[in-house]
Structures are given as C-alpha cells and as structure tokens.
Amino acid sequence: MTSPPLDDSEMARWIAWKQANDAVATAVAREILAASALSVPDFSVLSRVIENGAGRMPQQKLGLMLGWQRARLSRQLSRMADRGLLTREDGPAGRRVIVATDAGRDALAIARPAHARAVRHALLSPAAGDRKTFWTAVQAIADPTRNST
C-alpha cells in the first residue's frame, strides 16, 4: 500500500523538524568542542564509559549502548586512544575493555557543563511555552514500542 506524498503543511512540518534537530545538534556540538576539544562521538564514548561504567566498560557493551557498528567504534576508539583520552585493555575471555584516562575524565568534566548549557539554550528554552504538549509529542515519537505493533 502506497501513501500519497506529503502535502504542503506536512512537508513544512517535516522541514521544520529537520532544521530544529540540526540546529540543536549543531549548537551542542559547537559548545562541547569549544569547551573541551571533544567531538560529539568523543563525548558520547566518554560519557558512557565514565557515567555508566565507572570509567571501565567492555568494548562490546559500549558498542551496544551507542548502537554503533563494530568498525565505527573501533576507529573512534583508536582516535581517542591516540589522543590519550582512553586506553584499551584485555579483559576476561580475551574481550577488550575500554578505560577512561585522567585526560578523558578531565575533558568530560569540562564538556558536561557546556553540553547542559547548549541543551538548555538550543532546546529547552525555546520549548518552554507549551512544554507539556511538546514533550508529550517528543516522548511519543521516541517511544521504541510505538511502531512495534
């Protein structure tokens, strides 16, 4: 069954959604980079390893948390190791363990407030007018069970 193309109003909403998403993502990336010299992928890796793994995490678990393919994760981790943000160690059963270095912890500590500042400025403040309706819609869109029926 085919759906008709989006009408003008639907297309305008779709474009606005994409532009809003891009604007928030760009603002967050810019703030994090300016404050800490971390990219968004660097920030994503370090925040998972430090905040969810107390500074150590099996590489496989990290990949699952991020939803990244193995090759992408491996390349990202190599770049971060080269910059001294983390190390990779052999863990149980030959599995790799990712360990945040002091430099990685320091960079994340600097990036965290910049991330919060950017999210508040680019997303939360503009959405303050009718918060309940807006966030109810966003949560419905993000619900992974929404399309599983």
What is the spatial distance between Cα 14 and Cα 60, in angstroms, rounded to a whole number? 35
Per-residue model confidence as pLDDT tens digits over 86-140 = 999 998 888 999 999 999 999 999 999 999 999 999 988 887 777 778 778 888 8
- Mean per-residue pLDDT over the chain, rounded: 92
Q: Return the pLDDT at 74.
A: 96
Topology (CATH) of 32-118: Arc Repressor Mutant, subunit A (1.10.10)
Q: Give the single-character DSSP code of 37.
A: S
Per-residue model confidence as pLDDT tens digits over 1-40 = 789 999 999 999 999 989 999 999 999 999 999 999 999 9
Q: Return the pLDDT at 148.
A: 54
Tell me the pTM.
0.85
Contacting residues for 1 by C-beta, under 8 A, at least 6 apart: none
